[in-house]
Homo-oligomer: A and B are copies of this chain.
Amino acid sequence: MLHFTPTTLVEYLEQVFPQIKGDFTVLELAERQLKVKLNVQEKHLRPGDTVSGPTMFSLADVSIYMVIMAMIGPEPLTVTTGCSMDFMRKPAGGRDIIASSTLLKLGRSLAVGDVLIHSDGISEPVARATMTYAIPQKAKT
């Protein structure tokens, strides 16, 4: 049973991190699965209208954070402990980017999730990421 709907999950995220208000839209949410769109804006771009690396990192980070919250309920002290990313192609100019995430492990104190990022409407992925999180111990009672 999920603790959030797509709408309440974004509301919760924007309450915890007000700086990113309006940046993300949840497209699909299911058990251990999440699809999120980054609404690309001027601030996310690099020369050539390509989405910046830190923006893709942010999308991957937020995606796994949200799918963990959907699974365990609000636990704002959950923190990112690690990340590995591969940037494989230049994101297409003038398109939003979409992250498809899978939670591979949701343990007592550690969670691991995989993320594949595409430019909207283009099949070849632009980046992949694995994010790891530490879940505070009190979250487990």
Does the CB pair A47–B17 fall under 8 Å? Answer: yes
Q: Of the candidates B57, B82, B89, which one forms a contact with A54 in the assembled complex, judged by CB atoms under 8 Å apart?
A: B57
Write the nearest CB–CB distance from A141 to chain B, whole angstroms: 15
Contact partners of A134 in chain B: CB under 8 A: 109-110
How many copies of this chain are found per oligomer? 4
Question: CB-CB < 8 A to A114: which residues of B?
Answer: 114, 128
Please determine whether A53 and B81 come into contact, CB atoms closer than 8 angstroms.
Answer: no
B53 touches A55 (CB 8 A): no
Shortest A87–chain B CB gap in Å is 5
Q: Quick check: B128 and A128 within 8 Å, CB to CB?
A: no
A58 at the interface (CB under 8 A from B): yes
CB-CB contacts of A14-43 with B at 8 A, as 1s and 0s? 001111000000000000000000000001
Question: Whole-angstrom distance between the alpha carbons of A128 and B55 in the complex?
Answer: 19
Select one of B45, B88, B110 contacting A105, CB under 8 A.
Answer: B88
Instruction: Using A53-B80, A54-B58, A83-B84 as known contacts, list a sample of 13 further A-B pairs with CB atoms less than 8 Å apart, ordered by residue number in A.
Output: A19-B43, A53-B57, A79-B90, A82-B84, A83-B83, A83-B87, A84-B130, A86-B105, A86-B130, A89-B105, A109-B109, A109-B134, A114-B128
